[in-house]
A and B are shown apart, each in its own frame.
Chain A
């Protein structure tokens, strides 16, 4: 419920352990066949030690972080994601979120969340934000 949320609250972390198989599954499901996501030779030619995770797959995890938290009664209204750094399969990817605003607009409880994907070095490779609505008690 909207009333249970406070600015500064953190969402439960969502931890992902992506592997090459998941990247191939995502390529098929999204039809994103850019070779740097599955062909090691192409990734190495581009200077990477491994194939790289699709940015949009990281968006999907950040979407899951938020929709899992709001449940079936909340609604995701906005999701912004920016790919600042590359992430690799084999590394743990941790999705984090923190509430930065909570307000009532036209009777709707709106909550704004700062979100991000944290890499094994502790840096946020993929920052973003989400806006959700939550049901109110009144």
Chain B
């Protein structure tokens, strides 16, 4: 864990810093075939492992699975206390996915997010807050099937974008 403080007027307050390593409220999703089909259709991926039951059952997976970035549709819930987002605008910096097992139709996946690092940078858009979050996905048998580590960048003042604070 590193915290960069570039000046006395850092946006990373003690309150914000207290969110590092704090776990979000857990949420569990029942994985329905229809949700996987809709996601595969939205991204435009024709892989029959996501939609063709017979094909998937005769494959090495033994059944329908979800596309790798389906995790994006399993939103984490909020933190036990409201996250004090200091900025109005949001950018997605990227994601790192680690997979132990695929998501399968019929799974119950529990999602928990925690912030592992917060740091700020100063660029042409002024101060920007970088938030590194690790999201874990655990199945109904208690196995960690994968993780997603996200970089979220927020910046600027004014009316808050819809979705700021959700990511």
Please report A residues at the B interface, Cβ cutoff 8 Å: 16, 22, 25-26, 28-36, 42, 46, 54-57, 59-61, 63-64, 67-68, 72-73, 75-83, 128
> Which residues from B are CB-within-8-Å of A77?
98-99
B60 touches A64 (CB 8 A): no
Name the contact of B94 in the complex, choosing from A25, A32, A80 (C-beta under 8 A): A80
Name the contact of A29 in the complex, choosing from B38, B89, B90 (C-beta under 8 A): B38
B67 touches A32 (CB 8 A): no
Interface residues of B in 101-119 (CB under 8 A from A): none
Judge whether B97 is part of the interface by a CB distance below 8 angstroms.
Answer: yes
> Which residues from B are CB-within-8-Å of A31?
73, 75
Name the contact of B98 in the complex, choosing from A30, A35, A54, A78 (C-beta under 8 A): A78
Name the contact of B97 in the complex, choosing from A46, A79, A83 (C-beta under 8 A): A79
- CA separation between A83 and B90, bound complex, in Å? 13
Query: In angstroms, how far is the closest chain A Cβ from the Cβ of B147?
Result: 10
Query: In angstroms, how far is the closest chain B Cβ from the Cβ of A131?
Result: 9
Known: A56-B92, A81-B95, A83-B92. A33 touches B162 (CB 8 A): yes
- CA separation between A78 and B99, bound complex, in Å? 6
Query: In angstroms, how far is the closest chain A Cβ from the Cβ of B99?
Result: 6
B44 touches A22 (CB 8 A): yes
Query: In angstroms, how far is the closest chain A Cβ from the Cβ of B52?
Result: 11
A29 touches B92 (CB 8 A): no
- Contact flags B68-95 to A (C-beta < 8 A → 1, else 0): 1100110100000000000001111111
A and B contact pairs by CB, cutoff 8 A, 20 listed: A22-B42, A30-B72, A32-B163, A42-B161, A55-B93, A59-B69, A59-B95, A60-B68, A63-B45, A67-B45, A67-B47, A68-B45, A72-B60, A78-B99, A79-B68, A79-B95, A80-B96, A81-B95, A82-B94, A83-B93
